[in-house]
Amino acid sequence: MNFAFLPDLSALTVLIVILLLVRRRHPGPRANAWLLGLFLTLVEELAHTFYPQNGPPPAIFHIIVVDCYVLTGALFIWAAGNQKLSRNSRFLYLAVNTAALLALTTLYGANLPMSPAYLLAISAGIIVGVASSLFVRQNWLYASLFTLGWILVAALAEHDMLRQAVYWSLACVFTLAALAFDRHLERRSTGKLAIVPGLSLWALCFALHPWVVKYPAYADIASHVLNMQIALVAIGMILVLLEQQVSTNQWLALHDELTGLPNRRMFAAKLDLAIERCNREKGSLALVVLDLDGFKKINDSLGHLAGDHVLREISTTLRRSVRSSDTVARLGGDEFIIMASDMDNEKSLQRFVESIRGAIERPIDVHEQAISVTASLGIAMYPADADDAIKLLRVADQRMYFLKRRPAQQSQVDTGMAALSPPA
C-alpha cells in the first residue's frame, strides 16, 4: 500500500464533508452530482494507494481508477446543466455516451491488449454518439465531433497507443466539463474562477499523462498538480453553493416564498419609484388592492395545502392578466395588490379591473373539483386620491374593506370615489 496518498485522501475527505454540510443548506441536483463526483474521486485516490511502487497496477484497481475518471467527468458535465435540454434528455444523452466510453476504459484498465473488443466498443461509441446527437440534441455538429473523436480513438488503438486513446478521451471529457461550467455559471461567480481553471488543469493532466509516465522524475510533480486542481474544483463548488445561498436569501428578502411574487417590501420600493416617475412625467397610476372572499373556508374545508394551491393559481392568473409594465405583489395571507401605470381615463381603468375580476373568478381545480373564487377590490388613483404612497395604500385598502363589508356592492367597479369611499 502506498501511504504517500494518505494526506491527499484526508484533505479530499475534509473538503467532501464541508461540501456535504453546505449542501444541507442548499440541496439540489447540482450539489448531489458534485458530491457524488468528488466521492468517486476519493474512491479513485483510494484505489491508487494499492498501486505498486514499480510495475503495472493490479487490473481491478486500474479499472476502478479509469472508470471513476469517466464517471466523475460525466457527473461534472451533468452538474453544469444545459437549459436547452430537459432533465430526462440530458440524462439519456450523457448516460449512453458515458457507457460507450466506460466500455473502452474498462478494457484498458483490465490491461488487455488490442482485441476485437476494443473495436466493438469504439464502433458502439460512434453509433451511440451520432444517434444521440441527432435524435436527442438534434445537432449535426455534435454528431460530426463524436464521429471524428471516435475515429481518432480507433486510429490510436490500431497503432497500439491505447494509453493515448484513453487519456486523451478523458481530457476531452473534462474539457467539456470546464466549457459547460464556463458557459452556465454566472460571469461574476467567484466559484467559477476556481472550477473552470481546476477542470482545465485536470484535462491538461490527462492529456500529458501518456508523456509523463515515460519520465518517472516528473511523476510526483504531475501527481501534486492533479491533487491541487481536485482541491481547487472542490473549493469552487463550495463557493458556488455559498453564492447560491446568498442569492436565495436576497431573493427571499424581496419575494413571497409561496407564490414567487414581490412582497410588501419590494412593492413599496416599486411604488415609490413609480410615483417619482409620475411626478416627473405628469402621469398617473392606479392601485388595486384585492382580498379573496371566503378563503378561510377553503383552508378549513379542504386543508392548507389546497389553500396554498389556490394562492399559487391566483398569483399565476394575476401575473398573466396584467401588462409587463404593471406590478403584482402579495401583501400577505389572501391579500394581493396591483400597480398599473398610464390609466388615462375611468373607462380604461374599469376595463382593467374587470379583466382582473374575470381572471380571478375562473374555476380552479382543487382535489379534482372546480372551485370559483371571488375577490373584493379597492381602487385608488395617484395623484387624484393621494399625494404619497402611504396615503394611496390607505385609500385603496379602506375601499377594499368597505366593499368587503357590503357584499351586495362587490360587483360594482366604481372608480369615482364617492361610491367606493367608506362612510365618514
Q: Which residues are catalytic, by number?
A: 334
Give the residue ranges of DSSP H helices in 185-294.
190-212, 219-254, 264-281
Q: Is 41 helix (H, G, I), strand (E, B) or coil?
A: helix
**DSSP element (H, E) containing 94:** helix 87-109
Q: Which of 41, 103, 10 has its CA nearest to residue 237?
A: 41
**Size of the chain, expressed as the number of residues it contains:** 424
| Residue 127: all three cell numbers together | 453509433
- Contact at 8 Å (CB) between 35 and 22? no
For 174-179, the CB contacts below 8 A with 24+ separation are 174/73, 174/76, 174/199, 174/200, 174/202, 174/203, 174/206, 175/199, 175/200, 175/203, 176/73, 176/77, 177/73, 177/76, 177/77, 177/80, 178/202, 178/203
For the residues of 358-395, what is the DSSP string, one character each? HHHTS-EEETTEEE---EEEEEEEETTT-SSHHHHHHH
- In the sheet that holds 335-341, the strands lie side by side as 327-332, 335-341, 285-292, 375-382
Q: Which of 73, 85, 88 has its CA nearest to residue 36?
A: 73
Residues 6+ apart with CB under 8 A from 221: none
- Contact at 8 Å (CB) between 310 and 367? no
Using CA atoms in the order 10, 12, 17, 21, what is the torsion angle rounded to 10 degrees? Answer: 150
Give the Cα separation of 221 and 208 in Å (integer). Answer: 12
Residues 6+ apart with CB under 8 A from 143: 129, 130, 133, 134
- Contact at 8 Å (CB) between 334 and 253? no
Residue located via cell numbers 457524488: 36
